[in-house]
Amino acid sequence: MMADTARAADAADQKVERMQRMLRQVSQERDSLQAENTRLKSEIEELNRKNVGAKKSSDAALAKSRESNATLSTELQRTEQNLRQIQTDKDLLQETVVGQAQQLETCESHNVKLLQVNRNLLGQYENKGFFDSLMQREPITGLKGVELENIVQDYQDRLDRLVFRKTEASTTP
């Protein structure tokens, strides 16, 4: 029986040893898991800090982007208004140029006609002889003087019609 008791004691010792090994192994696993848990908690805290920083940075960038967008929108509206004003000014200037071109054509036409009137007048003056000069000063009937005054008045009327006036240009379509 002793041998049975020794075997039973030996078996109990082996069970105790096995239980102690298992206890050490579970303790090591527990310590390892606690260390891993602590490391993961610190990683989570670090990631949360980074996330908060990134969110603040992202929010700041978003606010700056919105502000920039508002500024650009305002600038776009201002630029569009300037463009409309410039287009209006351009159209007005084009109308002015067309009007001035028409005035220039009118002036050129009148200048040609004035030149013709002056040539006619010079031609008549060159062909005036002694008898015409004498008749012009004839005091009794004064017919030649009246005829000469009529010719002068006719030329004066023609010249007056050909003089360019600014009001003509503005009423001409």
pLDDT tens column, 95-119: 999 998 988 888 888 777 777 777 7
Categorize the per-residue pLDDT at 161 as very low, low, confident or very high, splitting at 50, 70 and 90.
confident
User: How far is it, in rounded angstroms, from Cα 34 to Cα 102?
Assistant: 99
Q: For the purposes of burial, counting CB atoms within 10 Å of the CB of 49, is it exposed (0-12), middle (13-18) or buried (19 or more)?
A: exposed
Q: Mean pLDDT for the chain?
A: 81
User: How far is it, in rounded angstroms, from Cα 8 to Cα 85?
Assistant: 111
Amino acid at site 95:
E
Question: What are the respective helix, strand and coil percentages of the chain, to the nearest 5?
Answer: 90, 0, 10
Sign, CA torsion 151/156/157/159 = positive
Tens-digit pLDDT profile for residues 4-63 = 787 888 888 888 899 999 999 999 999 999 999 999 999 999 999 888 888 888 999 999
Sign, CA torsion 17/19/22/28 = negative
167 DSSP assignment? H
- Give pTM, 2 decimals: 0.44
Please tell me the least confidently modeled range out of 13-17, 89-93, 145-149, 158-162.
Answer: 145-149
